[in-house]
Amino acid sequence: MIRIEMKPLKIGNIVIRNPIIAAPLAGVSDKAYRKILKENDVPLVFTEMVSAKALIYDSRKSKKIVDVSGEVNPIGMQIFGGNINEINQSAKYLESIGADLIDFNIGCPAPKIVKNNEGSGLLKDPVGAIKILENLVNSVSVPVTLKIRKGFDEGYFDAMPIIKEAENIGVKAIFIHGRFREQYYSGKADWDYIKMVKDSVKIPVIGNGDVNDPYSAEKILNETGCDGILVGRGFLGNPFLFKEIIEYFNKGEIISISNEEKISVALRQLDYAVEDKGEYLAIREMRKHLGWYLKGIRNGAYFRNLINTCDDMEELKNLINDILMR
């Protein structure tokens, strides 16, 4: 396979030297997670996707999701919705609190969102989607990007008309997930579609889907020619993936992450979560993250069960140390 050299990516006024970007993941991409990714050199991270309607109606939970105080820029924020005025108002709010770019979601497959003609539901209404995007671009001064799937279902509601018009109205980059909405996260991502998008527009195209290691990162870049990679599930329990990919691209070698390093990072993420949310909530929300750090270890299911019943901070730290040092 041909070796590749990553080129810097410019999205509006944001320059990303090695464009391997962390996707917004609902219930995952909180402040502690973002801090850990930044400490491991991930150049651009996103807050969790947030509802435009909830933001303008002053939802405390939604405003907590987009609290980026004390974090390292650049940071993107992603919104979803179907009402132009709500989207414009929420985008202005996000800009005011520090969003370096605002991404509009036409990719979320969740039924409760799709039934409201939001997220992937907008794939059925390309005219409405473009109208939303055009107003959004004109409502803020920071770059606006688009996260979109290849279509709603096989043979119907292809995303390409939205993608092409998005370029014309000033959207600065496309994050394209190579799956239909009806696939959710199953099956294989269609990298041929990502290539077609890249060949069809002049703005940056960032490929998304099935990048979990340095080999798949190299493969998607070689096969699609895309300008960057949006990594979602590949970062779960492995915030080191960015460094692994860059080391592989530069030297052709896969670096080894020791259990000691995993322990240090996992426990630091736990500390950040406690600092941000308090011990009670942090321990419960960190259980899934700690389980991901344990992926691949012997008797992992047994240890995850122990973690999921642990309510005490010190006991949990001792348990993680004991597990990973075996």
Q: Hey, which residues are catalytic here?
A: 108
Going by C-alpha positions, the residue among 70, 79, 216 that lies closest to residue 136 is 79
Going by C-alpha positions, the residue among 41, 26, 11, 56 that lies closest to residue 244 is 41
Contact 103, 80 (CB under 8 A): no
155 burial (CB, 10 Å; 0-12 / 13-18 / 19+) is exposed
Q: Count CB neighbours of 320 within 10 A.
A: 23
Contact 95, 87 (CB under 8 A): no
Q: Which residues pair with 75 in a beta bridge?
A: 45
End-to-end CA distance of the chain: 37
